[in-house]
Amino acid sequence: MSSTKNDKHLEAGVKKLRKWLQGAIEVEHCTIPPYFTAWLSIIDGSNQEASDIIKSVMLEEMLHLTLAANLLNAVGGHPDLIHPKFIPRYPTTLPHSGRHFPIRIERFSKKALETFKKIERPEAKGAKPKAGEFKTIDQFYAAVGQLMDDLCDQYGEDRVFTGDRQLQIQPEDYYGSGDLVVVIGRDTAHQAISTIVDQGEGADHGIFDDDHNIFGDGGGKELAHYYRFNEIYEGRHYKKNDTPNSKPSGKPFHVDYKKVYPIKTDIDRRKYPKGSEIRKALDEFASCYGELIRALHHAFNNDRSQMTAAMARMFSLRNQAVALMRTPIGNSGENLGLDFTQQA
């Protein structure tokens, strides 16, 4: 193959890799609003174990979003968190996935947990890598890793990882949950991908990832996201000898689905008159969430100091969200929910 054809083939391959990694950022972000909502819909002082588990998963999704951005920057891409459709209008489906179940902004419930388990469902052994219409997130990242390896093998690592290393979010920039990976080449790229997949679905087709245990009876190991949600669903912790095919056999814990704010599912602020108190409150929340996303965009593209501001905004949104969830909608029996969408 001529040098010109080689260059064009490399360019096309790297362009595809960047497109897939932008998709990874969109996939990881899509899970944050529903997890955030379910976490905060739990009334303070109740369902503490369930609340802690959901919060822990949400924070790790922020880590996965950041790792995906580091991966994209490493191959010379530009993470785009401010394009008009980045924050979807819920209900939505998992971006680029072949699983078209609805993902909603709804209160903590068994139904919500069923959706969360579908999002984090582990890959079956032998499933082929697939970047479009994938059935599990592991399939998607396996396709990303395979394309990356093919390009490195054919053209050399230095011609694939051409990104500015100054754009990498560093551990000192990030104070969320988990260990951040700075991606500078093939090995660290696989490390970042493994962190995302193992935390979501489990390492080596087991129920645990490789992190230190925070909750449950895991004997020093941390459960992957799917199994953390299943603990809540079953009302019982896993033990270290449990398997993906077994139910959790550890200590039971109480889950009370009535101790939640009765928020309206998938509330759409466009349906409330401009200038009304409800509309103003919903607009303000959406605006603040938009500021968080813009801070992340700038952190990933040109100003790493914005990472700290973005994480701080995540927690400052909590008070706004809870205030909305405590607000009744007339005499409907429902309270206000959360609308994250920027277009109104």
**pLDDT per position as a tens digit, 56-81:** 999 999 999 999 999 999 999 999 99
Q: What is the pLDDT of residue 309?
A: 85
Domain edges within the chain: 12-260
Nearest-angstrom CA–CA distance, 128 and 242: 26
State pLDDT tens for residues 166-183.
Answer: 999 999 988 766 789 999
- Percent of the chain predicted with pLDDT > 90: 75
Q: What is the pLDDT of residue 219?
A: 47
Q: What is the pLDDT of residue 2?
A: 58
Q: What is the pLDDT of residue 176?
A: 66
Q: What is the pLDDT of residue 294?
A: 96
* Mean pLDDT over each residue of the chain, to the nearest integer: 91
pLDDT over 50 (residue 213): no
Q: Which of 26-30, 185-189, 194-198, 293-297 shows the lowest per-residue confidence on average (mean pLDDT)?
A: 194-198
Q: Which structure tokens are listed for 297?
A: 């965009």
- Residue 96: pLDDT band by 50, 70, 90 thresholds? confident
Higher pLDDT, 254 or 135: 254
Helix axes 186-201, 225-234, angle to 10 degrees: 10
> Residue 209: phi, psi to the nearest 5?
-95, -165
- Domain 12-260 class? mainly alpha
- Residue 212: pLDDT band by 50, 70, 90 thresholds? very low
Interacting residues of 3 by C-beta distance below 8 A, sequence separation 6+: none
Q: What is the pLDDT of residue 214?
A: 43
Amino acid (one-letter) located at 169: I
pLDDT over 60 (residue 308): yes
Q: What is the pLDDT of residue 253?
A: 96
